[in-house]
């Protein structure tokens, strides 16, 4: 796995159709496509097709959430839920060893990893207990339509940067055998 994308938690629509970032108006799938991470537009509003899932797997992209409990809004999650979720994610990352983890949402990330001053972009993981040193961690903007600060184009720019990081050699050499 090259890239593990981590949402905060499923919204009610996403839970109903059992597909990540599925609510109409969510800019995740359009921005991923515009960034070149998918070869065709994905409409997850009724679930992911087998072709969509195969495309993600073929490209080394995995999807998960910090918290599995569906809510109307992510701010309904408790501090305790998010902190426990940060620990679970760290354990999962240690097992899966993706090249890059991208968490979509700065506010939840700050709580889950006790980093109140964190900013978007690549993170220093040296003080996250159990985080594998060879796995990069990024925090990217929340793609929800509620996030008025981002557009499909700005989100696509972020996904291109994350994708480039997922393909960069781990040791600085030109050959990436991972």
Which tens digits make up the pLDDT trace of 147-162? Answer: 667 899 999 999 999 9
26 alpha carbon, distance to own chain's centre = 14
**Every domain of the chain and the residues it spans:** 3-167
Q: Contact 167/161 with Cβ under 8 angstroms?
A: no
Confidence label for 23 from pLDDT (cuts 50, 70 and 90) = confident
Q: Output the CATH code of domain 3-167.
A: 3.40.470.10
Top-confidence range, 17-31, 33-47, 108-122: 108-122
> In whole angstroms, what is the distance from residue 4 CA to residue 98 CA?
6
Confidence label for 15 from pLDDT (cuts 50, 70 and 90) = confident
């Amino acid at each position: 796995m090259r890239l593990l994308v981590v949402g905060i938690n499923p919204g009610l629509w996403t839970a109903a159709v059992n597909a990540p970032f599925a609510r109409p108006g969510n800019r995740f799938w359009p921005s991923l496509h515009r960034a070149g991470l998918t070869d065709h537009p994905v409409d997850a509003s009724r679930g992911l097709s087998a072709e969509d899932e195969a495309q993600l797997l073929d490209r080394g992209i995995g999807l998960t959430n910090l918290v599995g409990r569906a809510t109307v809004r992510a701010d309904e999650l408790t501090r305790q839920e998010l902190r426990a979720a940060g620990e679970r994610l760290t354990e999962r990352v240690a097992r899966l060893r993706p090249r890059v983890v991208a968490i979509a949402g700065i506010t939840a990330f700050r709580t889950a990893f006790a980093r109140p001053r964190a900013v978007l972009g690549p993170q220093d993981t040296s003080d996250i207990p159990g985080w594998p040193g060879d796995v990069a961690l990024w925090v990217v903007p929340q793609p929800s339509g509620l996030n008025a600060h981002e557009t499909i184009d700005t989100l696509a720019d972020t996904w291109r940067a994350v994708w480039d990081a997922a393909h960069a050699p781990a040791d600085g050499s030109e050959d990436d055998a991972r």
